[in-house]
Amino acid sequence: MLSKTIQDALNEQVRIEAESSQVYLAMASWAEIQPGIDNITAFFYRHSDEERMHMLKLIHFINDRGGFAVIPELKQPSLTFPSIKHALQALLTHEIMVSESINNLVDIALTEKDYATHNFLQWYVAEQIEEEALARTINDKLELIGDDKGGLYLFDRDILSVSVVGSTVE
Ligand code: OFO
């Protein structure tokens, strides 16, 4: 059985994962109407799906352990971006925030001596290492490209292989 403190903390993470999915879905929709970045668009859509999967995993865990997973209200994410670079920087900043939130959850689980939840959260700890590393790699590559349009074309071709290697989708 989950303590109220753990249940509330896990439900807050449900909200964050749902919000992440919305944030990346908005990036995907914006990217889809920009010319020539089909694979970057696909990357955002896939990332959004992954976040929904992270959310569902939490929902099932909470409910399976005798709690009640609350489906959250979400605020509207940013809809447009000055450039693809800005969108991908925002993605990295968002992932860093998610990692902090997961670390905070791990702390709460330890304080509450909830070792089952602590064990469950290890998957998210590992996932965040992967996702942050992937987002950093992508941003580093974009930094190298600068404003070069040909570079962006090659980057768009490249991003699928980068994301397939770096991702631990379940
Ligand atoms: Fe990208 O983060 Fe979920 O966990």
Q: Give the CATH number of the domain where residue 133 resides.
A: 1.20.1260.10
164 pLDDT tier (thresholds 50, 70, 90): low
In a domain, 133, yes or no: yes
In a domain, 83, yes or no: yes
CA-CA distances (angstroms) from residue 4 to 17, 35, 75, 154?
Answer: 20, 49, 25, 50
Atom of ligand 1 lying closest to residue 127 CA: 4
pLDDT reported for residue 168 = 45
Residue 169 above 70 pLDDT? no
Average pLDDT, the chain: 93
Structural domain includes residue 44 = yes
Whether 167 shows a pLDDT value over 80: the answer reads no
Whether residue 21 lies inside any domain: the answer is yes
What's the domain range around 11?
4-163
- At 47 the pLDDT is 96
- Tell me how far the alpha carbon of residue 95 lies from the centroid of ligand 1, in angstroms: 7
Token pair, residue 55, equals 């959310």
- The closest residue, in CA terms, to atom 3 on ligand 1 is 51
Instruction: Convert the pLDDT of each residue in 25-62 to its tens digit.
Output: 999 999 999 999 999 999 999 999 999 999 999 999 99
Is the minimum distance from the CB of 24 to ligand 1 under 6 angstroms?
no
Ligand 1 geometric centre to CA of 159 (Å): 19
What is the total count of domains within the chain? Answer: 1
Q: What is the predicted pLDDT for the residue at 166? A: 46
Domain annotation covers residue 170: no
pTM beyond cutoff 0.95: no
Does the beta carbon of 6 lie inside 6 Å of ligand 1? Answer: no
**Does residue 37's CB lie within 6 angstroms of at least one atom of ligand 1?**
no
